[in-house]
Chain A
Amino acid sequence: MTARILTPEELALLTLVQDELVPAHGDLSAAGTLGAALTVDAYLAERPLLRRPVLTALRAVEAAAGETPFAELDSEGRVGILRQVENDDPEAFSELVKQTYNAYYTRPDVQASLGIDGPPQPLGFELPAFDESRLARVRAMGKLWRDA
């Protein structure tokens, strides 16, 4: 699968950024390594209004990194750059984070790591029925409404 909106450079940068936003956890790789950048690219293709903030945030990351490319920084350095961009343009950066979360938490493997067996339908969940005896105290409160 190739990107439709992001250039190869932007895709690579987004992948690195996403690895810092949602790092590896247990057996799960970080978001970028899992391929969340391509998913975000698909969102950008479907919803043009997302392009401006996401691309703005990516450009800001590049710019903030200065002469040392983001890719050549260690994790601490990358996080520092991302904090700077978040501080300078919180609106664009929060959209980048949101779309990364969207891509990450819609993955079945990530959901499985949280104990989710599948989507809500068709199985739903079996929950206990209501027990009326729990209302004994409230029933004894008497009329609480004003007639009119």
Chain B
Amino acid sequence: MATPEFDSDVLIVGSGASGAAAAWSLSRRGLRVTCLEQGRWVKPSDYAHSRPDFELARQTSFAKDPNVRGWAEDYPINNSGTPIYPLMVNAVGGSTVHWSGHFPRMRPSDFRVRTLDGVADDWPFTYWDLEPYYDLNDSMVGVSGLAGDPGNPPRSPRQTPPLAFDAGCEAYLRGLEKLGWHWWPCDNALISEPFGENRSPCNCCGPCDIGCPIGAMSSAHVTYWPKALAQGVQLITHARVEQITVDRAGRATGALYYDDQGVRRSHTAGVVVMAANGVGTPRLLLNSTSARFPNGLANNSGVVGAYLMFHPVAFVSGVFEEVVNGQRGPIGGLMNCQEFYETDLARGFVRGFELQLSRSVGPLSVANGGILGHPVPWGSEHHEALRSRYAHTMTTSVMLEDLPEPENRVTLDPGLTDAHGIPAPRVEYRAGENTQRMLEFSIARARELFEAAGAVEILVDPLVQESGWHLMGTCRMGDDPERSVINGWGQAHECSNLFVIDGSTFTTSAAVNPTSTIQAVALRCADWLGRNYREAAA
């Protein structure tokens, strides 16, 4: 199987959710796998959870926005053309290093949007094709939750039981039961009981969004990477890729990257796999120009970077008279409400949304507005206002399906570069008309829920600026090379030994967090590549 003329059989660019899963899968088959990661290992001592000023980490060392966080490993992003800022983490484990761990699956209808609803495109495979890889992925990472949700197809038993259910959940439940809406305890990539090695179950400390120092969060650096390394994968950190190299025939030959000393190096491989996220992957492909690909690698169609999708998010917070202690317990999805998930044209839009019923934050973040989007006033009213919100608030994320539009895209900024002189990405995005109609409707439903639950004050952030966690669609899958970059196995239409396996691959976005699907797609692609390596590398 090995191709000794290359440094590696497979070179993976990026060590996050998809790169980690693929590295594990491919190395299982005996392939020589190398992964280039521009970031570093985040150490337990890096986390702020044991310090009184832990909430400051949201604004500094663990800020979601790389432009704010400013780690040496980050690259700048020109986000002047988008109301939603792209968020990411550049480290081993990628953006799973600090996230909410919400781990839903897409529904079968999400893969057949064109057929069912006449918009966008169908994926080149079905939910049922992906289901075994969802199951495999869950068994690798460890998921808390409960099978049996009537809102989704039956699924395998979850690895650990649902997370805690406390006063805030009871408040939500008052509203849900009154309205008769669907709800279910969320699947979360966060273990509630012992699972895996060197990991502790969640102890409900709260701020998952600034990382998990005890390994309860099923982040790629604690799930896949230890196993992948044990199987012999070479992971090179502080390796910033500049471009994917090609030969005269237009086949990928490897990558040029800067090492931790700033030395520009080459690494050759029989197959290159892009796993650098929905902004990083198109950025690198667009920067990989050659005589054969003057507009960027695999981009003679002009589709690389286009069709960017976020999940537009509104935060709706309910303030209750009773103490709900929303700052205690995992911050992310407690329960989801998929009452409005499938298309109902009477609502004035196609597709749908999910209400993610989540918790809240500590006093500093409450004071600054943080998740609420409304800072507490200063002056004589300050203390009363702070005390009415802190420990009395629950926040629901309204998460919408974003339809793919070619004008929403990632390009290379003509002037901005990273520390190595590599062009930075520029992101251009606007929420389409369907999205705007859905936002209005969905915010009204979240308000209705909080009113039914008895909230005494409702605060709304109608389009959260710092909500671009989900970077999708910029190297989309499809059967038509004019409208897609890769086929259903992640293989580039224009370059058969180049694969893309991250969120870029999404044909449509669905209305749920994508990481579970990103990893399942990565495993499916890696499985095919592992079985067909000789053909792909030839």
Contact = CB atoms under 8 A, between A and B. Distances in A.
A23 interface: yes
A59 interface: no
Query: Lowest 3 A-B CB distances belong to which pairs?
Result: A124-B203, A127-B164, A120-B205
A68 interface: no
Contact of A138 (B163, B165, B184): B184
Given A130-B146, A138-B184, A139-B150, A102 B50 contact: no
Contacts of B107: 145-146
A121 B51 CA distance: 8
Interface of A: 20-23, 25, 47, 79, 82, 94, 97-98, 100-102, 104-108, 110-111, 114-116, 118-132, 134-135, 137-139, 141-148
Interface stretch (B52-60, B233-241, B479-487): B52-60
Contacts of B55: 105-106
30 contacts: A22-B383, A23-B383, A98-B375, A105-B55, A105-B362, A106-B52, A106-B56, A116-B363, A119-B52, A121-B47, A121-B49, A125-B204, A127-B166, A127-B204, A128-B166, A134-B173, A135-B148, A137-B177, A137-B180, A139-B148, A139-B150, A141-B150, A144-B341, A145-B150, A145-B152, A145-B342, A146-B107, A146-B109, A148-B108, A148-B111
Interface of B: 47, 49-56, 59-60, 107-109, 111-112, 115-116, 126-127, 146, 148, 150-153, 161-166, 173, 177, 180, 182-185, 202-207, 213-214, 328-329, 338, 341-342, 362-364, 367-368, 375-376, 378-380, 382-383, 387, 390-391
A97 B49 contact: no
Contacts, number: 160
A144 B54 CA distance: 41
A105 B363 contact: yes
A82 B378 CA distance: 10
A141 B50 contact: no
A22 B378 contact: yes
Nearest to A22: B382
A47 B68 CA distance: 11
Nearest to B116: A148
A135 B184 contact: yes
Contact of B185 (A79, A106, A130): A130
Given A105-B367, A121-B213, A148-B112, A127 B338 contact: no
Contacts of A121: 47, 49-50, 203, 205, 213-214
Nearest to B330: A127
A20 B153 CA distance: 57
Contacts of A21: 378-379, 382
A144 B150 contact: yes
A119 B165 contact: no
A48 B502 CA distance: 35
A76 to B, nearest CB: 10
A138 B214 CA distance: 34
B379 A23 contact: yes
A4 B146 CA distance: 54
Contacts of B382: 21-23
A142 B150 contact: yes
Contacts of A115: 391
Nearest to B108: A148
Contacts of A143: 150
Contacts of A114: 363, 387, 390-391
Given A106-B55, A127-B204, A138-B183, 5 more contacts: A23-B379, A107-B52, A119-B52, A129-B165, A144-B342
Nearest to B328: A125
A146 B165 contact: no
Nearest to B213: A121
